[in-house]
């Protein structure tokens, strides 16, 4: 074996391949630059449209990628002539409550499926994940009947109770993968010491699964924040609408699109999610890694 290993060529160059500047440009800087342009250009265009006056928006002259005379008229119209601040608060409230409900039930479901070791648990886990694959455009039809019969139509509670229907399946699947990475020996030691299952979950499993919980929470919060179909179906009053629905329905009058205010609403609506990702991106990546490595 040693002779065979000695005959094999050993590549000792490692990352020395990237020492040369042309190679770094081709293999690192150029792909990274293309990725950043594709990723950030929509936000740049939204910002440009937000502060660009209508005369420049409708004009074919000048540079379309720059602003000659910036204005705050679109921002003023959005914040003071519409109910955008209420839409933002509604979106925040619904997203936080729905995410909290989904995480609580997902933790209980994932722990029961992954750690209690009963017959058929694998099929239950697969069934829960398959439920996530059902399109919301199909689910909202039976959910609409339930919402009407419970007299929850045109209320924030209707969204808080319907959003978990598509959040819990994926969050459960994600946490199942993360719980699987936690050694069973920790639970066995706790059981020998007299700890209950609930104590094990709260004091051992959850502290070790913080990255997975943050990952599932960010995912659920993002889906709630951007959800459109349920919010459009179950809410009609302007003061109860969320940002995705309010911006589209209130700032489009027939065939007249108020592009400046539309882009301002989209830009301001994306800031909370961007800030959330910037603070927890490391936990988000590690949570996804722990979920899929099994």
Give pLDDT, residue 282: 67
Residues 107 and 137 occupy one common structural domain: yes
Residues 116 and 32 occupy one common structural domain: no
Query: Mind listing the pLDDT tens digit for each residue in 209-249?
Result: 888 888 889 889 999 999 999 999 899 898 899 999 999 88
Give pLDDT, residue 283: 62
Give pLDDT, residue 24: 75
Residues 21 and 117 occupy one common structural domain: no
Cβ count within 10 A of residue 73: 15
Residues 187 and 248 occupy one common structural domain: yes
Mean pLDDT, range 45-53, rounded to an integer: 89
Residues 66 and 138 occupy one common structural domain: no
Residues 223 and 127 occupy one common structural domain: yes
Query: Mind listing the pLDDT tens digit for each residue in 63-93?
Result: 888 888 888 988 999 999 889 999 999 999 9
Q: How confident is the model at residue 163 (pLDDT cuts 50, 70, 90)?
A: very high
Angle between helices 259-292 and 73-80 (to 10 degrees): 80
Single out the residue in 56, 71, 86 at which a domain terminates. Answer: 71
Q: Tell me, yes or no, whether 9 lies in a domain.
A: no
Residues 26 and 164 occupy one common structural domain: no
Q: How confident is the model at residue 125 (pLDDT cuts 50, 70, 90)?
A: confident
Give pLDDT, residue 294: 46
Q: Tell me, yes or no, whether 253 lies in a domain.
A: yes
Q: What is the mean pLDDT of the chain?
A: 83
Residues 242 and 278 occupy one common structural domain: yes
The token duo for 132 is 């996530």
Single out the residue in 71, 90, 105 at which a domain terminates. Answer: 71
Residues 20 and 112 occupy one common structural domain: no
Q: Which residues of 217-252 are buried (b: 16+ CB within 10 A; e: fewer)?
A: bbbbbbbbbbbeebbbbbbeeeebbbbbbbbeebbe
Asked if the model's pLDDT at residue 194 lies above 90, the reply is no
Query: Mind listing the pLDDT tens digit for each residue in 106-123?
Result: 999 888 888 887 777 778
Residues 180 and 112 occupy one common structural domain: yes
Q: How confident is the model at residue 2 (pLDDT cuts 50, 70, 90)?
A: very low
Single out the residue in 29, 55, 71 at which a domain terminates. Answer: 71
Quote the domain boundaries for residue 239: 76-292
Domain count, the chain: 2
């Amino acid at each position: 074996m040693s002779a065979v290993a000695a005959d094999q060529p050993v590549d000792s160059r490692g990352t020395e391949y990237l020492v040369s500047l042309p190679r770094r440009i081709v293999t690192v800087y150029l792909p990274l630059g293309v990725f950043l342009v594709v990723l950030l250009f929509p936000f740049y265009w939204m910002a440009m449209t937000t502060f660009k006056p209508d005369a420049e928006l409708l004009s074919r002259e000048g540079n379309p990628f720059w602003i000659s005379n910036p204005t705050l008229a679109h921002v003023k119209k959005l914040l003071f002539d519409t109910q955008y601040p209420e839409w933002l608060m509604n979106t925040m409230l619904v997203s936080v409550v729905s995410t909290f409900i989904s995480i609580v039930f997902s933790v209980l479901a994932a722990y029961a499926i992954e750690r209690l070791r009963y017959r058929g648990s694998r099929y239950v886990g697969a069934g829960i994940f398959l439920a996530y694959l059902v399109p919301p455009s199909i689910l909202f039809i039976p959910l609409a009947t339930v919402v009407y019969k419970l007299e929850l139509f045109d209320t924030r509670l209707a969204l808080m109770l319907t959003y978990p229907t598509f959040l819990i399946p994926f969050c459960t699947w994600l946490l199942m993968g993360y719980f699987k990475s936690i050694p069973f020996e920790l639970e066995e030691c706790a059981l020998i010491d007299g700890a209950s299952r609930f104590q094990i979950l709260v004091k051992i499993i959850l502290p070790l699964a913080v990255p997975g919980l943050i990952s599932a929470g960010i995912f659920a919060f993002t889906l709630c924040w951007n959800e459109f179909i349920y919010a459009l179906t179950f809410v009609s009053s302007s003061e109860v609408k969320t940002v995705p629905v309010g911006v589209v329905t209130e700032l489009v009058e027939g065939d007249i699109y108020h592009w400046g205010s539309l882009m301002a609403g989209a830009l301001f609506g994306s800031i909370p999610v961007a800030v959330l990702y910037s603070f927890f991106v490391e936990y988000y990546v590690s949570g996804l890694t722990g979920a899929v490595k099994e």
